[in-house]
Amino acid sequence: MNLTEIRKIEHLDICLREAVETGDPLFEDVRLVHQSLPETDLEKVDTSCEFLGKKLDLPLMIAAITGGCEEAGRINEALAQVAEKKGLAFGVGSQRAMIEKPELTQTFSVRSVAPSVLLLGNIGITALKEVSPERVAQAVEAIEADGLCVHINPAQEIFQNEGDDDFSGCVDALARLCAAVRFPVVAKEVGNGISREAAELLKGTGVRAIDVGGLGGTSWTLIDSLRSGKDSSRYREWGIPTAAAILEAKGASLPVIATGGLRNGLDMAKAIALGADLCGIALPFLRVLAKDGIPGVEKYVDGLERDFRHAMFLTGCKNVEKLKNKSVILGAGLKEWVDQRNLDG
Ligand SMILES: Cc1cc2nc3c(=O)[nH]c(=O)nc-3n(C[C@H](O)[C@H](O)[C@H](O)COP(=O)(O)O)c2cc1C
């Protein structure tokens, strides 16, 4: 087993055993406006959407979790099956392990169980300085993915013993990748949020969408400090809360994915109303699968769908497009962020 495989196993283990969520995504600071006359039938509310050219039944992605060890392969296969059945998008974890060791490819390969899902591969931005666009494209093609998420995680790298905290040249490396490949590339933070400035830089690289990966959900500074013993106590709540990050990132006028601490269908509806096009959830899927298996995950998705549908109905939105950028009332914390950063609320 190489270092990357060991790291994958430790990450899964810590995420299942420890309290690893920190910060506040600020969804409590978003209120949707109730409409007493929705003029639609609850059952006819259309929760489907399109993202990167594929139709989804719900604006939800099972965000990148894993790959690169046997257990990871089982997790990917089980969650991808649910994504296929429920019409969700699916992201595999970092494919670096399979680039280093091609026999691990099968732990990322889910196409046979998820033939029609929007499937996204994954690689870290610093790896793009060493791995050529051709090798990256091969990894994406090897799992028959529709596109690639490039994760951007400077805060996490600081607290990893084996972390790569040289982020110089990353923007150019990302631009080279985007210019060289035919599939869409999505830039993705992993828990510290994308600012407006970062979103504008990303737009210049040619990425096709931005996953804001905001503060308020799974904390990678915490998880990796538990592995390394490095003191991350002052950086556990570092970052841009997810609700604020949506407003920051949407200024770049690219499709936005809202990930980081979304835990129910109402959070999803708030994220879409703030301007996101798709929602992403990771940790709860891993935990529900470990506890209640595939039936539990299906039930969890049904609950997300039901809550999301209720929010659409009660705001008078017949389809997801109508919910997008719906007017919302901002609580003090988020309002202060919007005002001080001169964002459109
Ligand atoms: C066990 C685990 C492993 C993860 N591995 C990756 C990864 O390899 N690449 C990546 O881009 N994000 C990875 N993530 C981050 C998630 O995709 C997501 O951005 C983050 O966990 C925030 O969402 P959450 O609060 O719903 O968990 C991982 C998350 C978990 C829980």
At 56-78, the pLDDT tens digits run 999 999 999 999 999 999 999 99
Q: How far apart are CA 265 and CA 258, in angstroms?
A: 13
Residue 222 has pLDDT above 90, yes or no: yes
Q: How confident is the model at residue 4 (pLDDT cuts 50, 70, 90)?
A: confident
Q: How many Å lie between the centroid of ligand 1 and the Cα of residue 91?
A: 10
In the predicted structure, residue 325 carries a pLDDT above the cut 80:
no
pLDDT tens-digit map of 292-323? 999 999 999 999 999 999 999 999 999 999 99
Q: Provide the percentage of residues in the chain whose pLDDT is more than 90.
A: 96
Task: Spell out the SS3 assignment of 311-340.
Answer: HHHHCCCCEHHHHCCCCEEECHHHHHHHHH
Mean pLDDT of the chain: 97
Distance 63 CA to ligand 1 centre (A): 6
**Per-residue pLDDT at 253:** 97
Report the pLDDT averaged over residues 4-9: 88
3-state secondary structure of 62: strand
Domain assignments of the chain as residue spans, ordered by start: 3-340
**CATH code that applies to domain 3-340:** 3.20.20.70
User: From ligand 1's centre to the CA of 35, what distance in Å?
Assistant: 35
The rounded distance, in Å, linking the Cα atoms of 114 and 77 is 8
DSSP assignment of 118-164: -EEEEEEGGGGGTS-HHHHHHHHHHTT-SEEEEEE-HHHHHT-TT--
Instruction: Dump pLDDT digits (tens) for 158-202.
Output: 999 888 999 999 999 999 999 999 999 999 999 999 999 999 999
Ligand 1 atom with minimal separation from the 188 CA: 11
Ligand 1 atom closest to Cα of 213? 19
Separation of 36 CA from ligand 1 center, angstroms?
Answer: 38
Nearest CA to ligand 1 atom 17: 64
Q: Give the confidence band of 99 by pLDDT, cuts at 50, 70, 90.
A: very high
**Rounded to an integer, what distance in angstroms lies between the CA atom of residue 97 and that of residue 70?**
12
Atom of ligand 1 nearest to the CA of 149: 11
Q: pLDDT tens digits for 231-249?
A: 999 999 999 999 999 999 9
230: DSSP letter: -
Distance 293 CA to ligand 1 centre (A): 19
Index of the ligand 1 atom closest to the CA of residue 262: 26
- How many C-beta atoms surround the C-beta of residue 102 within 10 A? 12
Please name the residues in contact with 182: beta carbons below 8 A apart, sequence gap of 6 or more. none
pLDDT, average across residues 105-117: 98
| 212 Cα–ligand 1 center, Å | 12
Residue nearest to atom 29 of ligand 1 (CA): 65
Residue nearest to atom 12 of ligand 1 (CA): 64
User: Ligand 1: which atom is nearest the Cα of residue 216?
Assistant: 25
Ligand 1: centre distance to CA 9 (Å):
14
pLDDT for 344 beyond 90 = no
- pLDDT value at 345 more than 80: no
Residue whose Cα lies nearest atom 25 of ligand 1: it is 217
Closest atom of ligand 1 to 189 CA is 19
Residue nearest to atom 15 of ligand 1 (CA): 190
